[in-house]
């Protein structure tokens, strides 16, 4: 998805691309579900709104990061979210804070600072894109933790449909800035974004019903590999050695943060 977002943001505002992602995914998922099973329990309303709000802010910042810093670089920073998911679980769901989580957070901060430093050397726009992507990762951590709590009582389809609906409503004002001229490249990119994000988001929510939020977030963070790879192949982007090293540090931190969760999930 990230590479298609990079293509779309060449001519369209990142927040408008995010609106199309949410609105299009909502329509697609609602049609496929036939409107069945999308009535939440009364106690789920507040969490659905929180998950939708945090997720919308995270996706919007992530798309800004992609548009300004590139798919690989922005995804690398966005993929700090497993550590922030772990922190959210500790603070709001009563999990114990361990030394592994502390070291993992430090590793991600070190890696993130190295990546932002690379962006700053490239230009202010790239550096701001890096900051936006890192902010997206922080917000995504809370969103995943909230989605995990919702999966105790609600289906993946219901959570995903409401997430997309809330995002579409919140980002609708972005259309007032005016839309770019239509082109085949933009249309193909937008359709691809809708299809990949719908499936990816549903799979994340589905998986959270069977594993811990940290492990689920860790699995989603593997997108950093595909984003960087597709960007290099499809768009001819070069991945600097410093960014690769920073990515290795961050992935190591993510793995460390998930160690306790994987042990807890083992039979």
Q: Could you give the C-alpha distances from 163 to 100, 122, 207, in angstroms and in order?
A: 31, 35, 16
Enter the pTM of the model.
0.81
What integer pLDDT is reported at residue 85 of this predicted model? 84
What integer pLDDT is reported at residue 45 of this predicted model? 95
What integer pLDDT is reported at residue 40 of this predicted model? 93
| Helix locations, the chain, DSSP H | 2-8, 14-33, 45-69, 71-78, 81-93, 99-122, 124-150, 156-171, 184-207, 213-220, 223-235, 241-265
Can you list the residues of the chain whose pLDDT is less than 70? 97, 108, 111-122, 218-244, 246-247, 250-251, 253-267
- Alpha-carbon distance of 106 to 22, in angstroms, equals 33
Cα–Cα nearest to 147, from 137, 138, 157: 157
Total domains in the fold of the chain: 1
For 231-241, write each residue's pLDDT tens digit: 555 556 665 66
Enclosing domain of residue 115: 2-265
- Alpha-carbon distance of 109 to 253, in angstroms, equals 9
What integer pLDDT is reported at residue 263 of this predicted model? 46
Contacts with 199 (C-beta within 8 Å, 6 or more apart), sequence order: none
Contacts 24+ apart (CB under 8 A), 237-246: 237/70, 237/71, 237/72, 239/72, 240/118, 242/114, 242/115, 242/117, 242/118, 243/72, 243/73, 243/76, 243/114, 243/115, 243/118, 245/114, 246/76, 246/110, 246/111, 246/112, 246/114, 246/115, 246/118
């Amino acid at each position: 998805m990230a590479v298609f977002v990079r293509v779309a943001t060449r001519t369209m505002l990142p927040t408008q691309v995010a609106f199309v992602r949410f609105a299009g995914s909502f329509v697609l998922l609602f049609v496929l579900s036939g409107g069945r099973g999308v009535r939440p329990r009364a106690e789920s309303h507040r969490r659905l709104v929180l998950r939708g709000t945090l997720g919308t802010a995270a996706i919007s910042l992530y798309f800004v990061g992609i548009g300004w810093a590139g798919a690989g670089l922005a995804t690398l920073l966005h993929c700090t979210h497993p550590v922030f998911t772990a922190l959210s679980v500790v603070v709001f769901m009563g999990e114990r804070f361990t030394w592994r989580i502390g070291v993992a957070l430090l590793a991600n901060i070190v890696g993130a600072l190295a990546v932002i430093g690379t962006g700053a050397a490239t230009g202010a726009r790239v550096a701001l894109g890096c900051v936006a992507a890192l902010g997206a990762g922080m917000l995504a951590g809370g969103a995943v933790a909230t989605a995990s709590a919702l999966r105790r009582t609600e289906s993946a389809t219901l959570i995903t449909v409401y997430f997309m609906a809330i995002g579409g409503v919140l980002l609708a004002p972005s259309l007032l800035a005016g839309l770019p001229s239509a082109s085949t490249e933009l249309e193909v990119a937008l359709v691809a974004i809708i299809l990949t994000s719908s499936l990816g988001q549903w799979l994340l929510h589905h998986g959270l019903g069977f594993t811990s939020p940290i492990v689920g977030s860790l699995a989603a963070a593997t997108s950093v590999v595909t984003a960087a790879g597709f960007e290099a192949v499809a768009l001819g982007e070069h991945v600097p050695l410093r960014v690769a090293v920073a990515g290795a540090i961050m992935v190591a931190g993510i793995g460390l943060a998930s160690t306790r969760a994987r042990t807890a999930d083992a039979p």
